[in-house]
Amino acid sequence: MPQLRTHIYFGLFTYPLAYFLVGLIFMKAKWSHFSMPFDDLTIVLSYLVYVIGSDLPDIDSKTAPIHHFLKILASILGVFMFLSWGSNLLSEKFGDAYLHLIATSVFVLAGGLISYILITLVLKLKIFNHRGFAHSISFAVIYGLLIYIGFYRSASNSLFIALLGSIGVILHLILDAVEDVKKGNKRKALKLW
Ligand SMILES: [Zn+2]
């Protein structure tokens, strides 16, 4: 597999082309509910999910940095979810500032630990074997779908952001396929799932 650096560099520097082409399609289609020209937030978010997407499939490789980065990200997200779920409980049950501090620390520990264990177990599933499902077009679509759902309320151009995310993943698959051809590996490029 190409190095993280190759994937990241391609992600960083091909984004403007992807932005231009998809933007052109959106413009030509004249979808009135999209606010064009795109605002800064749309550009920054789509850039972020594109670059992350361009390395994301390698979460199925234990030696890839993104594999560990995802675990960190999932743990932090887990802490956030745990706290937003338990914040009422914390302030109701632990009015005393000292107790509140201790209880919050326990919540952070529990949220991080549970999320870390969960994501580790998920990544151990058979579908996450190297060059398995995470290296497929379905994965690209699911990634885009999750982004769309995630940004649906907060960003008006969530479809554009989601599309760029999926294209980032596809870019990774293409780069892997090119590498296979160069090395003479006979693997099915751009598999559906
Ligand atoms: Zn790969």
136-174 pLDDT, tens per residue? Answer: 999 999 999 999 998 888 778 899 999 999 999 999 999
> Average pLDDT, whole number, for the chain?
90
C-alpha 190 – ligand 1 centre gap (Å) = 11
Rounded to a whole number of angstroms, the CA Rg of the chain reads 20
Sign (positive or negative) of CA dihedral 87, 88, 91, 94? negative
- Tens of pLDDT, residue by residue over 67-85, are 999 999 999 999 998 888 8
At 35 the pLDDT is 67
C-alpha 173 – ligand 1 centre gap (Å) = 6
- Tens of pLDDT, residue by residue over 29-68, are 876 566 678 889 999 999 999 999 999 999 999 888 899 9
C-alpha 181 – ligand 1 centre gap (Å) = 14
Q: Report how far apart, in Å, the C-alpha atoms of 120 and of each of 52, 130, 160, 176 are.
A: 19, 15, 31, 24
pTM for this model (two decimals): 0.84
Side chain identity at residue 139, one-letter code: F
Name residues whose C-beta falls within 8 Å of residue 24's C-beta, 6 or more positions apart in sequence: none
C-alpha 184 – ligand 1 centre gap (Å) = 16
User: Do 142 and 59 touch, CB atoms closer than 8 A?
Assistant: no
C-alpha 107 – ligand 1 centre gap (Å) = 35
Asked if residue 88 has pLDDT above 90, the reply is: no
User: So where are the chain's domains?
Assistant: 1-61+130-193, 65-129
Determine what percent of the chain is predicted with pLDDT higher than 90.
59
